[in-house]
Amino acid sequence: MASKEKQKRIVSNTAYTIGGALLMNGVLQIVVYPLLNRKMGSDQLGELLYLMGLVAILCPSVGQALNTSRLVVRRDYEVKNGDYNVLLLLFGGIGTAVTLFVAGDSMVSLPVIFWTAALLMTTIFRYYGDVEYRLNLNYKKYFYYYCVLTGGYIAGFGLYFLTKNWFLVFLTGEAAALVYLAATGTVFRGFFDRSKWFTQAFQRGGFLVFSYLITNFTLNIDRLALEHMVGHLAVTQYYVTSLIGKTLVLLVAPVNTIIISYLTRKQERMDKKQFLLFTGIGTGVSLVFFLGAQIGTPVFVKLFYGDLYESVRGMITVVNLSQILGVLSAYLFIVVLTFTEEKWQLILQIIHLAVIAVLVLIFTEKSGIMGFAAAVLIANVVRVAAVILLGLWKAGSAPEQQKK
């Protein structure tokens, strides 16, 4: 009975997690961004997406990394709220300063600098904030947290109509979520009250921040490279073409949580036959995702970005395939991490970043947005192959070999 109840809780918590993510991103992708495209035009939207790409790199890299770190570190040390609040200010402040510098020409005035900095810091705290509900396993409130966030985005869009300031769309949502957190949670109480374990929190949290930065930079390299190498419009074109594939990433994290929960309960190590079985399952599901993306992407672009359809139709297959391979590699990483060390994920992430950076520079320079799409596809093929080879190498190895 206890086992069945635990399984029900896992399914329920997964549903709340997926539901919150899909609700937030559904409103953003079906309501907010298409309406902004109509009001601003595809070229201006590209500038917005470029800045939001910087947000998507920095904010989860700091907020989610420290969120995850706190969940792990609490098993070994009695950390306090202030340990992580100070780290949020430290890593967030440094990251914001670097991001403003990287944004360069986009920081056209003091108001833009102010709004960008405010959005970055607020979003960092929002990404960290849901640790409140993960610590307490209260995923119903986790879902409500994202409902409030989504409602804030909608309210912020109303403010955009009044002020023409698009920053308010996102800031209103982030601020609303933090207000809800302040009313229902405790992670920001005793804001600067640190424990004697602050150094350990700093070291372990900093390692995760670095690892997340590599991952999120790779995921959002399209906005950065295309902005600087092609232009605003190319950012919008690639974004809308890749959106269906990227949305599928939302389904991977909760599924990966279930995979880890199941695989780490078993004492024995996974052998090569079992690893190939999981690889086959992942490949099969990815194929279904790819076919779904192939059907859904043209429909989505025609409905919400009709003015862009003719300019992007030729790269839909290449972009969808590269996105689905990215989803498959994330899944395979989790499977491999259940029987090998975390260092391998960081090593392969660094290699993947180096490969994609070199290919993007060469291919985009020669062939523009189509060259960029081809570069990402090749890099993701290499990444999937590398993870599979690592899994075959490590699966079924002797314990002393697996520790190396």
Rounded to 5°, angle at Cα 326 from 322 and 332: 140
More confident residue, 257 or 306: 306
Query: 137 in the Ramachandran plot: left (φ > 0), alpha (ψ -120 to 50) or beta?
Result: left
Total residue length of the chain: 404
- Per-residue confidence (pLDDT) for residue 203, from 0 to 100: 87
Model confidence at 258: pLDDT above 70: no
For residue 36 the two structure tokens come to 């902004």
Determine contact, residues 345/390, Cβ cutoff 8 Å: no
Model confidence at 396: pLDDT above 70: no
- Per-residue confidence (pLDDT) for residue 86, from 0 to 100: 94
Task: Summarize the confidence of residues 67-95 as an average pLDDT.
Answer: 86
The label of the residue with tokens 């005793």 reads: 190
Give the global pTM. 0.80
Model confidence at 109: pLDDT above 50: yes
Buried/exposed code over 362-391 (b: 16+ C-beta within 10 A; e: otherwise): ebbeeeebebbbbbbbebbebbbebbbebb
Q: Which pLDDT band, with edges at 50, 70 and 90, does 252 fall under?
A: low
Mean of all residue pLDDT scores within the chain: 85
Task: Summarize the confidence of residues 342-356 as an average pLDDT.
Answer: 84
- Per-residue confidence (pLDDT) for residue 270, from 0 to 100: 75
Q: Which helix (H) or strand (E) segment is 384 a member of? A: helix 343-394
Q: What percent of the chain has pLDDT over 70?
A: 89
Task: Summarize the confidence of residues 78-102 as an average pLDDT.
Answer: 92
Task: Summarize the confidence of residues 86-94 as an average pLDDT.
Answer: 95
Determine contact, residues 287/327, Cβ cutoff 8 Å: no
